[in-house]
Structure formats: C-alpha cells, structure tokens
Structure 1
Amino acid sequence: MASRFLAVGSAVPAVDAVAGAIATQSMANLAYRPQGLTLLRTGTAAADVVAGLTAADPLRAERQLGVVGADGDGATYTGDGCLDWAGGTTGDGFAIQGNILAGPAVVEAMRTAYLAAAGPLAHRLLAALRAGDEAGGDRRGRQSAALLVASPGAGYGGLSDIAVDLRVDDHPDPVPELARLLDLHHLYFDRPDPDALLDLTGDLATEVADRLARLGHTGADALADWAGIENFEERLVPGRIDPLVLGQLRAATEET
C-alpha cells in the first residue's frame, strides 16, 4: 500500500497466514480487519466477506475494501462517496483498489505488473506498487508505503507467521524507500540457500577466524558472537558459512 497519508501501514492491512488478507481504505474502518479475518477463518468467500462487512456499515459509501481468501478470486468494494478517482480490480488471488488516484490507469498498471511479476510474493506486490506509483499513484502526492506478507512459520526465528512487515511512515519518495528496506530484509532475515553454503574448513576457516579476531571475536563461538551483533543470526548454519555473511565479514575487515 502507498498513500499521501501518514503511516498508511498502520491502518490499511491485516493478514492471516492461512485464511487471507484485508485492506480497508478511503475512510478506513479498522474494525473491518479483525472482523474480516474472523470471517475468512470460517471459510467465508472473499466476496461474501466484503458484502457482510459493508452491509453492516452505515458509512459504507465512504469506504473502500479489498479481501483475498485462501483461494479463488479476490473481492473489492468502492463506495459511491469515495473521492475520485476511486475504483478497483480483482483476479485469482488478488484485489487491487485505490482512491484519490491519478486515474484508472493506476489500478490497471498495478494489475498488469502483478500478473507479469515472478518470484516471492513480496516482490510481486512491490512490482505492483511501483507500477502504480509510476502511473501517477495518489494524485495528492507521496508520503508513506508499507508491505505486509504472512506465511506459516516464516517469521523471525520461525516463531511467527509474519514473513515481511515493512513500513515507510513519512518519506518524500516512499515506494523506492520501501524497496530499499526489502533488500535489507532479505540480507538480514532470509534463511541461507543450502546449496550455496560454504564449509568452514581449511583456508576458508583460517581466513574467517583471522577476520573475526581482527574484530575482537575469538574462540569456538566467534562467528556466532559477531553474527549476533551484526544481526545475521538467521543466516547461521553450524560448520558452514553463508556467502552473503562471508561478504559482510570481508567488508567489515577491509580496513581493520
């Protein structure tokens, strides 16, 4: 999501790693978020969630809502009191909507980019957001953007379902800044590729130990100590080293 609105990520989204996701927009009704997720968890279809939430809301004319369930088409709603341009589009597994946009081309650009994108969901969502931004985005200007992705057990330490939760709350160009944060998220929190890991033996083990010593870390736990301080603990594998971590260690000791 992106908007000329402070901290848009604090108001718009809610997600359940299994059941689906909600976006409440325009005059956002934050009660839609827990209520909608509860309905999705019972197996209620996305379109029926939209119908149920808006039917019970006396201010529905000013609301905008997007819902995606565990499968099937997403659903979108735009009240006739939303500020122009306002509207949305849906398809298999997605719902896109916006208000006070530069025009319908914003939503269509997002749809095209999302369908054309490949890779992890976070990257496909970001591709859509970038396309909408480049097509004009919020006609009032730019202020904030956010990205929220859930997957079972994908959170920090495997102890939550929140895979990505990034927010740019107040920035002159928030979507590119969000992309920068996503790159950092991958660096710090992605699990290493097992096929890329290097064995900590021979010359490589000697090099790593030497570089760690130059940074003040010695002993059997030297790598873990340094990695914990630098926030690379999610990339640690006993007896091996992630090439990305090795690259960061080498960079840290270039002038040490």
Structure 2
Amino acid sequence: MTFSICVRESYTDETGDEQTRYGVAVTTRLAGVGTLCPFASESGAVATQSLVNVDLGRKGIEYLDDGLAVGDALDALLNADDGRAERQLHGVGAEGEFAFSGEECRPWYGDIVGDNYTVAGNLLTGGDVVEAVAETYEEGAAEDPDDPDSDPETPLAERLVDALAAGHELGGDKREDLHVQSAALLVRSTEDREMTPYYDDLRVDATETPIEDLRETYELAAEGYEMAMERYEEAYADDEAAGE
C-alpha cells in the first residue's frame, strides 16, 4: 500500500561542527499515512508499512535512541512479531542500514539498501518505482557529484519530496480504484538549532494529489520559516539567551 525512503546525511553546521540529519518520507493510497508509518529522531529514521505495526516504528526509534544499531534494533522487533511475514520495515541509524520485506507482502513488493539510505514498497505497479525513488535521492544527495560528502544547498525535506515524486510518476501504488491518498515527511538532526524549520515535519492526510499537495505544503512552510527568521531572529536569540 505504500512506498517510502529513509536517509542519513552527515554535514558541517555553521559553527564548523559535524552533525547528522535523518529523514523519512512516505506516500500511499490511503488517508493519514503520516500517523502510522514514518518515525525519526536525532538517532535515526524508520518506516513501518505493508500490514502496519506502529509499535515497530515507535520502539525502533526508542531502541536507536538507546544506542542500539539499526539492524539489531529492527531485527529484534521483527523476531518478536508474530505478523512479520506481512510486514515491511526499514531504516537507518547512526551507522548502517536495514530493510526487511516479509514473504506475505502483496506484490509488487521489495526494498533497496543503498549507501546511507533505504527504500521499500508494496502493492506497487513494479520495481521501477522504488528504483526511481533511490536514483532520484542519490542524484540530489551531493552538491558535488565527485564528492559524496559535499552538502547540498537544497534542504533534505525538499529532496525527499522529489524522491517520492519520481516513484509516483512511474505508477506508485497500483490501487487506482482508491482515490484518497496521503503523504508525509519527517526530518530530524543532531544540530541544536534556535528553531526547527517548519518544513521538516509535514503531512497531507487526505487528498487526490498527495505529491503535489506535499510539495505545495513544503513551499509554503519554507516561505513561512524564512519570513519568521527574517523578522524575529533577534527575538528568538534573546529568548534563548534569557533561558540560559
């Protein structure tokens, strides 16, 4: 019913410190996917789908926050889950990637594990959907194609929308008789920022055009964030200093 992507990116913040950000984005031909599938923290990103078990996402992030490796955390949860044959679960942690697709998921289903990212989907029109998501993310992941550690100027949230759009254009979820769709994205970072960008946590809960609506929501949220920072950045800084 779904396809999704989880990513991990390293970057240098404005003060020269090394940071890590995690992102997850998902879309499906059902309403409210943002309440069920995507999970992220400053320790990792996880997506739970197919026959959804929300606890796999919630506990998966808790385990990553406790310092477990993503493979150990998610594999342990699946081993304790009687419904694992119908689950899809994938994600990234501080080190490593993990993806699982149970043998009873509905075709087409499958997953891709790449460097610093995972993609998975089920009930899709074909494997080219997840391939397009992966390829589009890879193309936008580095500002300098010859330097994979270079940091793109385009925010991760926007690039996650681009990745979903690529899969959607190739057919995405094959259940064309279901016109109500949804999409969501979530980005978290180890960086201590004065204000988290509004566009790092977005959901479109019920629409016939999920990717278009998610992109429009992102653009408006980005515009609002820029306006707020331009007008009130000094006030935010003063509030932070007063709380020290």
Q: Compute the TM-score of the two structures, normalised by the length of structure 2.
A: 0.73
Q: Which residue of 2 aligns with 1:125?
A: 160
Larger RCO, structure (CA 8 Å, separation 6 or more): 2
Amino acid at match of 1:64: Q
Say whether the 8 Å CA contact 2:70–2:95 is kept in structure 1: no
Q: Which residue of 2 aligns with 1:109?
A: 132
Say whether the 8 Å CA contact 2:45–2:92 is kept in structure 1: yes
* SS of corresponding position for 2:119: strand
**Moved runs in structure 1, 4+ residues, more than 6 A?**
none
Q: Is 1:87 equivalent to 2:125 in the alignment?
A: no
Say whether the 8 Å CA contact 1:150–1:163 is kept in structure 2: no
Post-superposition CA distance 1:2-58 (Å, at most 9, x none): 1001111110011112x1011110111111122111211233222222211110000
**CA RMSD for the aligned pairs?**
2.1
Q: Which residue of 2 aligns with 1:11?
A: 36
Q: Distance in 1 between matches of 2:157 and 2:167?
A: 15
Amino acid at match of 2:162: A
Q: Compute the TM-score of the two structures, normalised by the length of structure 1.
A: 0.70
Amino acid at match of 1:235: E
The structure whose residues are more often helix, as a share, is 1
Amino acid at match of 2:156: L
Q: Residues 161 and 122 from structure 1, CA distance in 2 versus in 1: closer, same or farther, beyond 3 angstroms?
A: closer
Amino acid at match of 1:178: L
Rg bigger for which structure?
1
Q: Is 1:27 equivalent to 2:27 in the alignment?
A: no
Q: Is 1:169 equivalent to 2:205 in the alignment?
A: yes
* Cα offset, 1:237, TM superposition: 5.3
Q: Distance in 2 between matches of 1:69 and 1:98?
A: 20
Q: Which residue of 1 aligns with 2:175?
A: 140
Say whether the 8 Å CA contact 1:151–1:162 is kept in structure 2: no
Say whether the 8 Å CA contact 2:198–2:221 is kept in structure 1: no
The structure whose residues are more often strand, as a share, is 2
Q: Is 1:233 equivalent to 2:206 in the alignment?
A: no
**Any unmatched runs of 5+ in structure 2?**
1-25, 142-153, 235-244
Match of 1:37 among 54, 61, 64: 61
Q: Distance in 2 between matches of 1:27 and 1:235?
A: 44
* Cα offset, 1:123, TM superposition: 2.0
Q: Residues 39 and 238 from structure 1, CA distance in 2 versus in 1: closer, same or farther, beyond 3 angstroms?
A: closer
Q: Residues 40 and 238 from structure 1, CA distance in 2 versus in 1: closer, same or farther, beyond 3 angstroms?
A: closer
Q: Residues 161 and 50 from structure 1, CA distance in 2 versus in 1: closer, same or farther, beyond 3 angstroms?
A: farther
